[in-house]
A and B are shown apart, each in its own frame.
Chain A
Amino acid sequence: MRTTSIGTRASGTGGTRAARSGQMHVWIVAGALVLGAGGCTASHPARPAAGEPSPSQSSMAPGMQMTPAAQKATPVGLRIGMEELFGQDVFVGIRVTRSRLRGDPDFTQAAVSALSRNSDDLTKLFAQVYGGAQAEKFRGLWETKQQSLIDYARAVSQHDQAAKASARSQLDAFPRQIAQYLHHLTGGKIAAGTIGSPLRTHVNDLMDFTDAYAARDYATAYRIERVDYERQFALGTVIAAGIEEDRDGHLPASFDSPLTRLRSALGDLLGEHMQLVVDAMGAALRGGPEFKADAAQVNADTEQLAGAFGVLFGPQSGAKFTSVWGDHVDALVSYSGAVAAKDQKAKDQALAQLAAFERHLSAFLSTSTDGRLTAPALSDVLHMHDRDLVEQLDAYARGDFTTAYNVAYEGYQHMFAVAEALSGAIGPTIAARLPKGGVQTGGGGMAGSV
């Protein structure tokens, strides 16, 4: 087994935009920290191969690049990109709605920019497969949904029943339109009926969220948000599968391999963590009444992550993970409170807690993966995550919403690189521990009729 460490360390919390640009390099390099048969190197990230190795052969080679746009060549990249972006659409869309309901014009403008960026990224993903003209049709339809949702939020905030009914009518029409588009786009591989149902649920979720938030029923609103994220993430899988299916309905083996599924599941939970914590930190900063409801969903995500690590490495590891991850979440909330209170000492304490978390979790994960992930490299990766969260909050606090949204946007995408690195190391670790071969479950008494 070969070990690799990251040569480029990230700058400290609150780095400049240039430093964040450098972070991209570090992230690509971070892919090389995972050891395996792929032989990736830091300076030359491997181009994803057509197939994906089994977990026991895992390396960072498949889809090492962090952006959806760079993952176009592989079925796995398309799947992960679709999941990531359709999931992200939920959070960035709801942030527009929420800010509209609260009446934050500056904040809304930055939120709309993030929503549009998500549409751009989705459009690029479709363009890579079907070309720009077809992709622009997607953008047109997709932005119709977004505009209708914004119209709905405006109508709700202004108690304008006629406008609300009009927006609802537009949203009700959207699932059929986009389902038909996808049906035609894929030559019928995505059945309009199959895709229309989850899309109807999606727009209903969005309207239900808006209604609940406007009624200050935050527990319901945030529960809906999280469920909708899970649904849309899964919708990304379905759409990618429809695109990747051959004429006989078969998918490439890599598309749904055990390793791909692990990577997808970790991305789902880690991406959700990022989004929920961003919102919880913002609510904590504002003193927003929704903090408690949002924090409850952060806890739910943490429980699911802990359950995952408990299954992967055993119940004791699950408990250890929960404890360390809990320190991480607590420190981030404390930091938000400290910023709100302008308490420098408390901020410093929270940052020290985050640094301790980075050390503890990196040691835990390195040990759990039999050294396939090196602790220093992991610590860098975790520090980048913490820095994203701290930086977006700092920007938010000083009213620089564009930066806050950009950092949060890219921080979400980073979580999928983390998921890739983790799954790439966990895969071979776990594969080595699996039972061997088939089972002897027959005595032969009914031989000939079995």
Chain B
Amino acid sequence: MSRRAAMPPAAVALAVVLVSGCGGPGHSPAATSSPRGGPATTAKPHEPPGVAGFHSVRTYDQLALPVRLQIPAIDVSTSLVKLGRLPDGSLEVPKDWNTAGWYDQGPRPGQPGPAVILGHVDSTSGPAVFYQLRTLRPGDIVRVGLADGRTLTFRVQRLQRYPKDEFPTEAVYFPTLNRELRLITCGGDFDYARHSYVDNIVVYATLVT
């Protein structure tokens, strides 16, 4: 974009109105910042108030680790375990059917980016912690308890079902810097030959408070 050589007509008109309406004991920044009247050799250096004591922040709030998950709409209340990655690059899953887990190499809940929490939909013999996850609806509330006692509230935005062999890695995991939560479990048909459900269900939620 090229810099304008002259003030646009509209600005001129507006400025005339403004300037003509000015009154009172104002001061110009130039007058303040460039005081006149004293020889430089005798003037004491002027240090604006607050400047000398200013130091930029050198830390940032990383938020405490997530330790608990509650989803009132489907009666979920579970502690959270830490999850890493498997040798094939996929996410580790909780060893306990009834306990959810947080992927600890991604954002923590409440940090910029999508925090990921996994839970089983069922065990080999019955329902598991995320059995009802597929019934969540936009607007439902998800709460994450942190190790320092704080509780974060997320609101469900949408739910998507993806075939596992077409899982949208970037849509789910890419750190967009929006403070979001992903809840993931299995869904669809069960492939008995592979001992695996064919789909994943992903709930997308955003931070409320």
Q: Which residues of A contact B (CB under 8 A)?
A: 17, 20-21, 24, 54-56, 66-69, 96, 100, 102-109, 112-113, 115-117, 119-121, 143, 146-147, 150, 154, 157-158, 258-259, 261-262, 265-266, 282-289, 291-292, 295, 298-299, 302-304, 306-308, 310-312, 315, 318-319, 322-323, 325-330, 333-334, 336-337, 339-343, 396-399, 401-402, 406, 410, 413, 427, 430-431, 434-448, 450
B91 nearest CB across to chain A (Å) = 5
**Which residue from chain A places its CB closest to the CB of B162 in the assembled complex?**
A438
Contact residue among B60, B126, B130, B171 (Cβ-Cβ distance under 8 Å from A306)? B60
Q: Is the CB of A108 within 8 A of B85?
A: no
B10 nearest CB across to chain A (Å) = 5
Stretch at the interface among B142-150, B151-159, B178-186: B178-186
Cβ-based interface call for B37 (8 A): no
Q: Is the CB of A55 within 8 A of B170?
A: yes
Assuming the contacts A113-B11, A295-B50, A402-B7, asked whether A330 and B55 have C-beta atoms less than 8 A apart, the reply is yes
Q: Is the CB of B51 within 8 A of A104?
A: no
Inter-chain contact total with CB atoms closer than 8 Å: 326
Contact residue among B27, B57, B97 (Cβ-Cβ distance under 8 Å from A299)? B57
Q: Is the CB of A434 within 8 A of B62?
A: no
Chain B 70-92, CB-CB to A under 8 Å as 1, else 0, gives 00000000000000010011110
Interface residues of B, dominant DSSP = loop
Known: A410-B3, A435-B169. 19 other contacts (CB 8 A): A103-B22, A103-B25, A112-B11, A284-B48, A287-B32, A287-B46, A292-B50, A304-B112, A311-B175, A340-B47, A435-B91, A438-B90, A440-B90, A441-B184, A441-B186, A442-B185, A442-B190, A444-B190, A445-B124
Contact residue among A69, A113, A447 (Cβ-Cβ distance under 8 Å from B8)? A113
**Chain A residues within 8 Å of B1, by CB:** 24, 66-69, 121, 410, 413
Assuming the contacts A325-B56, A441-B93, asked whether A105 and B26 have C-beta atoms less than 8 A apart, the reply is yes
Q: Is the CB of A437 within 8 A of B122?
A: no
A342 to B36, CA, bound (A): 12
Q: Is the CB of B170 within 8 A of A258?
A: yes
Interface centre among A147, A310, A315 (most CB of B within 10 A): A310
Name the 10 nearest CB pairs between A and B, nearest first: A103-B26, A436-B89, A399-B30, A447-B190, A438-B164, A442-B186, A116-B11, A326-B56, A258-B174, A265-B177
